[in-house]
Amino acid sequence: MIIRSGGCLCGRVKYSVKGAPLRIGLCHCMDCRKESGSSFATFGIWPPHAFESTGEVRYFQGRGFCPECGSRVFNESSDGEEMEIRVGSLDMAPTDLEPTYELWVKRRENWLPPLPVKQFEEDRIDALP
């Protein structure tokens, strides 16, 4: 079983996830753009039982940050069924973790081509029956 580790920039918050993610996504929404300072955010979803962490985490609107360095690291879904990890906070480059969908593509930069994966104009929940 693969165990991936990650954490914040200063090292005070650390976590690990076991096994394969439920899914990997790329989001272009305004919230992800603002909190990442980038044109999009890449995230992975694991079940809560596959996740462990150490260190103090503070939350802003459900998003987990290190209170010392401000790094965005992880958060639990509001229903407690999923843990969302920022792929960029993993210690090793996750070359085997490729997005299977893109969210909020209506906000994607014009110079950024779409990935050859499922596309959602907004949230994927909005597209579910």
Which domains does the chain possess?
3-127 (3.90.1590.10)
pTM: 0.88
Residue 71 has pLDDT above 60, yes or no: yes
Where residue 36 falls among pLDDT bands split at 50, 70, 90? confident
Q: Which residues of 36-66 are buried (b: 16+ CB within 10 A; e: fewer)?
A: beeebbbbbbbeeebbebebebeeeeebbbb
pLDDT in tens, 52-65: 999 999 999 889 99
Residue 127 has pLDDT above 60, yes or no: no
Where residue 93 falls among pLDDT bands split at 50, 70, 90? confident
